[in-house]
Structure 1
Amino acid sequence: MRDLGTTPFQYQMFKVEKQIEFDDIEMGVLNDGTPYLTGRGLEKICGVGHGQFHRFVTDWDNERFKPRGKIIQQLLDTQNYQGDSLFLRANYNGAEVLAFTEPVCIAVLEYYAFHASKKKEKAQNAFRILARSKFREFVYQAVGYIPSSTDNWKQFHDRVSLTYASVPVGYFSIFKEIADMIVTIGQQGIYIDDSFVPDISVGMGWAKYWKENNLSDKYGKCSDYEHNYPSYFPQARSNPQHVKCYPEDALGEFRRWFRNVYVGEGKLRKYINKKVLDLSLSSKFSDKALAEYEKLLLPG
């Protein structure tokens, strides 16, 4: 994948892997995995007109020494951007596309959001969404691009490997039972990590339901098992965790509760929306992920 801070071959024609228009903004991914906005996409997200903006970006050799260009250049310098041009030239279905990569999009957005004489509210809103560390995820999610690397799933896989076969025979664990939800949401771009641990939320809700309805009298007492987080998780400092597991006879009851109460009554949606705010992701992605999972779990 391209080092976005250095683009030495500005006039090489790159190839587009996938390009779409999402929320009226053109964006895509080059065939090496580099996410970008098109010129028209960057114009719209900044809230500026086509003609003036096009002249500015295509005459960067001169514009970089003018007041606006100097500010944008300073913002690019903070990201160690060394390119001579503000864009890459790419081929999309036989037509040339001006592809603006992450450092440029963030610098231009920041200028129109906070430094321009007439600050653009649209640019301010977009800048909040396209936080520096989330630009790639934003474009990947919108385009539906899945990188070949499995790094996004590493933390989930590591948690699975540490809990596999640790639950005593005759009991079930919350983490294993909601794995399908974690995978479905991850396929939409919201991946499990040390700040997104949905099994804790589900476990707390189920434990409350279990106690309030005296389900131990019906199914037998719950037990616990050693649950270890990967060593790079902050939670690993208190390993091993002693986590509750429940009698297998109650599995049907749990699944009905999870489907009808936790998901059906909006508890999952509330949890995901809070995490989206914490992680500075766009609510459009959480809505898409939740809709996809609810469609599978709640037919009709």
Structure 2
Amino acid sequence: MTRTPDQAELNLEIEREVEVDGVGMGILSDGSPYLTLRGLARMCGVDESSIRGITAHWNDDAPPPRVERIKKALRDQGFSKRLPYISIIKDGATHYACTDLVCMAFLEYYAFESKPAVQKAVENYRVLARKTFRDFIYARLGYDPKAAQVLAWERFHERIDLVYDSVPDGYFSIFKETADVQLALIREGACPGCKFIPDSSIGNLWGKEWRGKTLELQFGARIEYDHYFPDSYPQSKSNPQGAHAYPDAARAYFKRWLREAYIAHGLPNYLKTKVADKTLTAPIATATLTAIQKSIGIAPPTRRLGGR
């Protein structure tokens, strides 16, 4: 089975995949629950070949009646993707993921429209009608979608506890002055941590601004201070880290630069790199940028970060 994936799907990975009671299921990196083709077949009470037969004729000019019925059910709910599954390469093998709308459309067909109705599909459709598909998969996998966000909050507060007492009087640190950017990231579902340190990106670009415009002539010299990472960060092994603190006199200039230069231009580029290395999904990156830019009066992006 070959396909041209939607651009947003190129950034998806399999977060977790298991087989529960013979049903293959998992969770994608954007939190979407799914069934494998085999798992969907088991839930529908049919052979996997039946499901594959439907997908094989999905884009026929005149698809078989059962294919058209399932496609219509999906179209009625706004589904317009080229195929009813997402294909993802993991460890050299191709995995096919069928997300909630697709699974429910197949179940509904086998439960109520196929002749005869498939009793297994009827039973499972009723189960999922009582619980959402997402809750059903999350419960089976013991998955807590908020766990990563809780960890991000913990790490953020760990850094606050260390940084707030380490900056010399009369100076400001990049981490403290950009806390609102990191708060927005966490609120939108991004999880800054040891591999995702936004203040490092901001500090690098601000350093170029500082040196390039010889701002020390206007505000005074910046100084180095000892910056510590919490023990939960691998960077802590080389503590203390050398970091720059800037004169309080430059604070207003920095805030204006942060709004007009970094958030307008530097942040979109930074988030694109995080989408490219799969630290962030494109939807979360776009939502984060939209929230931050709207908060300071910048028009939100018109296209999804990482999309064409």
In structure 2, the residue matched to 1:57 is: 43
| Cα distance, 1:235–1:55 mapped onto 2, change above 3 Å | closer
User: Does the aligned pair in 2 maintain the 1:184–1:292 contact within 8 Å?
Assistant: yes
Cα distance, 1:272 vs. partner? 1.1
Amino acid at match of 1:177: E
Contact 1:220 / 1:247 at 8 angstroms: preserved in 2? Answer: yes
Give RMSD over aligned pairs.
Answer: 4.2
Deviation at 1:278, TM superposition (A): 1.6
**AA of the residue aligned to 1:252:** A
Residue aligning to 1:161: 161
The corresponding residue for 2:192 is 192
* CA distance in structure 2 between the aligned counterparts of 1:238 and 1:54, rounded to whole angstroms: 49
Q: CA deviation at 1:214?
A: 1.3
Tell me whether 1:262 sits opposite 2:262 in the alignment: yes
SS at match of 1:225: strand
In the other structure, the counterpart of 2:181 is 181
Is this contact kept in 2: 1:158–1:230, CA < 8 A?
yes
Indicate the residue corresponding to 2:287 in structure 1.
Answer: 288
Code of the residue aligned with 1:274 in structure 2: it is: T
For residue 272 of structure 2, what is the aligned residue in structure 1? 273
Separation of aligned partners in 2, 1:281 and 1:150: 16
Q: Which residue of 2 aligns with 1:111?
A: none
Using structure 1 for the length normalisation, give the TM-score.
0.57
Structure 2 residue ranges without an equivalent (≥5) = 1-15, 53-92, 94-119, 300-308
Judge conservation of contact 1:185–1:289 (CA < 8 Å) in 2: yes
Is the contact made by 2:225 and 2:245 (CA closer than 8 Å) also made in structure 1?
A: yes
Which residue of structure 1 aligns with residue 79 of structure 2? Answer: none
How many pairs were matched up?
Answer: 208
* 1:101 partner letter: I
The change in CA–CA distance for 1:210 and 1:96 in structure 2 (over 3 A counts) is closer
Cα distance 1:95–1:238, how it changes in 2: closer, same or farther (>3 A)? closer
Deviation (angstroms), 1:253: 0.3
Q: Computing the radius of gyration over CA atoms, which structure comes out larger, 1 or 2?
A: 2
- Give deviations 1:251-299, integer Å, cap 9, x for gaps: 00000111111112x1111111111222354212111110011101235
Is the 1:225–1:243 Cα contact (8 Å) retained in structure 2?
A: yes
Instruction: State the alpha-carbon separation in 2 of the partners of residues 149 and 220 from structure 1.
Output: 39
Q: Distance in 2 between matches of 1:180 and 1:294?
A: 12
- Structure 1: segments with no counterpart, 5+ residues: 11-27, 29-34, 47-51, 69-74, 76-84, 106-135, 141-145
Paired with 1:58 and 1:243, the residues of 2 have a C-alpha distance of 58
DSSP-derived class of the 2:277 partner: helix
Cα 1:149–1:212 change in 2 (3 A) is closer
Q: Which secondary structure state, in structure 2, belongs to the residue aligned with residue 101 of structure 1? A: helix
1:298 aligns to 2:297 (yes or no): yes
Question: Which residues of 2 match residues 86-125 of structure 1 at below 5 A?
Answer: 95=130, 97-98=132-133, 101=137
| Cα pair distance change 1:282/1:247, threshold 3 Å | same
